[in-house]
């Protein structure tokens, strides 16, 4: 891959840019040089640096025709290179659904193509490539990259050392493919079991425990030269509304916010977090204007900047989410976010509209150019810290030496082994033995697979149990099994020695309850695994053996299989309380509950 100097030297008008690039080193590019660079930028270039945008395609210059069509429809450009040339965006976010993350070599080539396209422009600047690689149920980069347990599973393990290891390894792998900003860790304290958007993406319900794990994971990522991002400020953990589709209101008092929501963000700041993501939520106790936090100057400048002393990069959550669009139009949102104190504007639904709105706001005096310069300086400081001026490119050799290597995969399995939580084990049902229960039927929900899966969860779990000496057969029954599906599962159970059933967000009205009850009526031993929220156990009190895996990804299901087979003793402890189904004011299993096997 050509060096930055080579690319710039071959580009028209590159002389000035090369002068900047020569000094653009993490150990030598201080504020004075960055301010000098900013002073030479046009207003259009400055506006572009504030945006982080999606783009379709596996290649920066030659995506598939379907991706070209999607780019033309949504952005008005054909390729990532054209996006950069037209809008001079400072960042690009990768998504699997945008076909950015097919495999590690392709991702590395896309990252290099993006950097080359930007560095080849006058005053060419490196692009900060980002993604949401939380692990667990949110992972944009899939296998063969190393996939770790998600946050609530790590919370069940309770080990800050494991959180630090996760961040270090995951950061190394992201850096190897050219991704230098990861929108994780989730710093929300999940105190609402009905939370539809955070849930197992949170480390748990104890602010102190969450704070420690957030700080540890932050340190791990940033020691690998990947910017960590604590989200979603000021705290999205107590809501029953998904901000993708609605506008949540958090009713915590200021004292409750200080005690419940603030500690993980304070810990992240103390750990030197590079960026913090805003939440599209209203918190009247912090700002009674009715504005979402993303657009709130009292919250982002008054509390985050001034009270908490944070001077790193503040990035919005996606500006295409409904929570930030309910009160203002898409042209006003980016302007108001900048006025509130934001530095990066993430993924607006209409980039041209948003870009021109910011440009107009400066020209008409609503925003000053000096205000833009403040945010651009923070963004460029981060790029310099990450050595993007000095070392923007990656290589296939680096990918092969880093991504999904044996040592990393083994570390993920070891961490997963410490997360599986045994909630119920009446009569010592678990562990199961291949000698006593050679034939297993694995049934249950097969939710849409995140990148951390190789196939339907029932199949993955059955395969893992078969490798451990059982003969396991998989039968998908879905999240809402019909009477006919339940009848098939019951019939199949007659030929098995025991049944393993995966449960997924079971409610009082869920037909998953009927499935489990009818399987129990066969008289066969039934073991349940909550493959997402651990709260399922309250809805199924007659199950004698119940595990929580906190996700249906391969790494967590393999760990659950090892616990079921007794290859690994369960050591996970609930990081959230489980309330009784018949009386949610009473706790069925408290934080810290977890069983193990006799020595």
Check: CB of residue 531 under 8 Å from CB of residue 152.
no
337 closest CA partner among 352, 318, 350: 318
Calpha distance 345→90 (Å, rounded): 10
State residue 93 phi and psi, 5-degree precision: -105, 135
Please give the DSSP secondary-structure letter assigned to residue 446. -
Verify whether residue 317 is a known catalytic residue: yes
Residue 315: strand, helix, or coil: strand
DSSP H helix total and E strand total for the chain: 22, 18
Inter-CA distances, 334 with 162, 281, 344, 532, Å: 38, 16, 9, 35
Question: Would you mind telling me the total number of residues written for the chain in this entry?
Answer: 599
Nearest to 220 by CA among 182, 190, 189, 264: 182
Q: Which two tokens stand for residue 215?
A: 């700080």
Distance of alpha carbon 464 from alpha carbon 458, whole angstroms: 10
526: helix, strand or coil: strand
> Residue 423 and residue 358: Cα distance in Å, rounded?
53
CA–CA distance, 387 with 381 (Å, rounded to integer): 10
Q: Are 531 and 511 in contact (CB under 8 A)?
A: no
- Contact 380/48 with Cβ under 8 angstroms? no
Q: Which residues make Cβ contacts (< 8 Å) with residue 261, sequence separation at least 6?
A: 188, 189, 207, 234, 235, 237, 238, 250, 252
Out of 132, 317, 343, 390, pick the active-site residue: 317
Question: Catalytic residue at 244?
Answer: yes
**Residue 249, strand partner residues:** 282
Q: Show the tokens assigned to 155.
A: 């919370």
CA 265-270-271 angle, to 5 degrees, is 95
- Rounded CA-CA distance 151/551 in Å is 10
| Two structure tokens written together for 583 | 């009386």
Q: d(Cα 557, Cα 447) in Å, to the nearest integer?
A: 13
DSSP H or E run through 557: helix 554-564
What Rg, from alpha-carbon coordinates, does the chain have? Answer: 25
Beta strands in 415-539, from DSSP E residues, in sequence order: 421-425, 439-444, 471-476, 498-503, 526-530
**Active-site residue, from 23, 103, 242, 244:** 244
Residues identified as active-site: 244, 317
């Amino acid at each position: 891959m050509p060096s930055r100097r080579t690319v710039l030297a071959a580009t028209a008008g590159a002389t000035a840019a090369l002068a900047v690039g020569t000094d653009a080193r993490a150990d030598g590019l201080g504020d004075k040089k960055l301010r000098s660079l900013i002073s030479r930028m046009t207003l259009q270039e400055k506006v572009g640096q504030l945006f982080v945008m999606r783009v379709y395609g596996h290649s920066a210059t030659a995506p598939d025709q379907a991706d070209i069509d999607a780019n033309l429809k949504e952005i008005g450009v054909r390729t990532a290179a054209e996006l950069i040339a037209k809008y001079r965006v400072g960042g690009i976010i990768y998504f699997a659904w945008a076909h950015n993350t097919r495999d590690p070599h392709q991702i590395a080539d896309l990252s290099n193509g993006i950097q080359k396209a930007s560095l080849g422009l006058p005053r060419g600047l490196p692009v900060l490539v980002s993604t949401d690689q939380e692990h667990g149920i949110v992972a944009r980069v899939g296998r063969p990259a190393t996939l770790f347990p998600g946050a609530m599973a790590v919370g069940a393990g309770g080990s800050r050392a494991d959180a630090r290891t996760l961040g270090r390894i995951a950061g190394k792998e992201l850096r190897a493919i050219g991704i230098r900003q990861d929108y994780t860790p989730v710093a929300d304290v999940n105190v609402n079991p009905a939370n539809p958007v955070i849930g197992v993406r949170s480390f748990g319900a104890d602010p102190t425990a969450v704070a420690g794990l957030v700080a540890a994971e932050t340190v791990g990522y940033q020691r690998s030269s990947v910017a960590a991002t604590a989200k979603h400020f000021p705290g999205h953990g107590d809501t029953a509304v998904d901000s993708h589709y609605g506008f949540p209101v958090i009713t915590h008092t200021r004292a409750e916010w200080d005690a419940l929501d603030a500690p993980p963000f304070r810990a992240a700041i103390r750990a030197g977090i590079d960026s913090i993501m805003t939440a599209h939520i209203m918190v009247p106790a912090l700002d009674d204007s009715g504005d979402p936090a993303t657009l709130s100057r009292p919250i982002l400048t008054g509390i985050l900047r001034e009270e908490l002393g944070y001077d790193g990069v503040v990035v919005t959550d996606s500006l295409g989410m409904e929570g930030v669009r309910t009160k203002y139009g898409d042209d006003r949102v980016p302007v108001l976010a900048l006025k509130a104190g934001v530095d990066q504007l993430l993924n607006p639904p209409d980039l041209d509209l948003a870009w021109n709105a910011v440009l107009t706001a400066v020209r008409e005096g609503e925003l000053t150019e000096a205000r833009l310069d403040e945010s651009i300086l923070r963004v460029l400081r981060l790029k310099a810290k990450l050595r993007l001026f000095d070392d923007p490119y990656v290589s296939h050799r680096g990918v092969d030496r880093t991504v999904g290597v044996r040592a990393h995969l083994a570390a993920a399995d070891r961490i997963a082994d410490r997360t599986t939580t045994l909630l119920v084990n009446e009569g010592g049902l678990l562990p199961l033995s291949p000698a006593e229960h050679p034939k297993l039927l694995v049934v249950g929900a097969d939710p849409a697979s995140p990148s951390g899966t190789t196939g339907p969860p029932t199949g993955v779990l059955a395969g893992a149990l078969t490798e451990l000496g059982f003969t396991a057969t998989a039968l998908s029954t879905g999240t809402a099994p019909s009477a006919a599906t339940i009848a098939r599962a019951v019939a199949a159970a007659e030929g098995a020695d025991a049944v393993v059933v995966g449960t997924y967000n079971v409610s009082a009205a869920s037909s998953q309850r009927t499935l489990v009850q009818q399987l129990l009526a066969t008289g066969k031993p039934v073991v349940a695994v909550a493959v997402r929220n651990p709260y399922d156990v309250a809805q199924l009190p007659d199950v004698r053996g119940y595990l929580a895996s906190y996700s249906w990804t391969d790494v967590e299901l393999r760990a659950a299989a090892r616990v079921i087979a007794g290859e690994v003793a369960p050591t996970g402890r609930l990081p959230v309380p489980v309330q009784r189904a018949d009386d949610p004011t009473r706790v069925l299993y408290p934080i810290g509950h977890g069983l193990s096997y006799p020595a």
